[in-house]
């Protein structure tokens, strides 16, 4: 019977080096991922406002008046839980049928 004298495998030092490299890679990638979440939320909200604007125009074509968010939900243009942006920012519909974020400042078009 032969005895195996040399075994292949990782030493403790090699395992620690691998774990150190993995830790460094994780530390580099996590901040980049969190930065992109804010950008994704902002772009998603902009796209959602555009979609609701399309629903407002469809309602106006059908009923000849601009709706409120409650009107859009009541007539089935939006679902009950779709009255805010995906990041929970509130949207409003002005009397002129413009959809915007509730906290967005109105731009004045005065040329003096």
DSSP 3-state assignment of 4?
coil
pLDDT at 7 over 70: no
- Tell me how far apart the alpha carbons of residues 36 and 19 are, in angstroms, rounded to a whole number: 26
Residue 96 structure tokens: 């002129």
Task: Identify whether the C-beta of residue 82 lies closer than 8 Å to the C-beta of residue 99.
Answer: no
Report the distance separating Cα 38 and Cα 90, nearest Å.
17
How far apart (Å, rounded) are the C-alpha atoms in residues 29 and 107?
A: 38
Using the predicted structure, report yes or no on whether residue 109 has a pLDDT greater than 60.
no
Pairing of strands 99-101, 91-93: antiparallel
Q: Specify the pLDDT at position 59.
A: 94
Mean pLDDT of 46-65: 92
Q: How far apart are CA 59 and CA 70, in angstroms?
A: 12
- Among 11-25, 29-43, 49-63, 89-103, the range scoring the smallest mean pLDDT is 29-43
**Domain spans of the chain, in order of start:** 46-104
Predicted local distance difference test score (pLDDT) of residue 3: 65
What is the distance between the alpha carbons of residues 99 and 51, in angstroms, rounded to a whole number? 9
């Amino acid at each position: 019977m032969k005895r195996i004298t040399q075994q292949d495998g990782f030493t403790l030092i090699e395992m620690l080096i691998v774990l150190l490299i993995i830790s460094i890679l994780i530390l580099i990638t996590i901040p980049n991922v969190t930065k992109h979440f804010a950008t994704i939320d902002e772009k998603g909200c902009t796209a959602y406002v555009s979609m609701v604007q399309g629903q407002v125009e469809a309602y106006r074509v059908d009923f000849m008046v601009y709706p409120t968010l409650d009107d859009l939900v009541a007539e089935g243009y939006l679902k009950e839980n779709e009255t805010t942006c995906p990041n929970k920012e509130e949207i409003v519909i002005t009397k002129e049928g413009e959809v915007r974020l509730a906290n967005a400042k109105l731009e004045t078009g005065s040329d003096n």
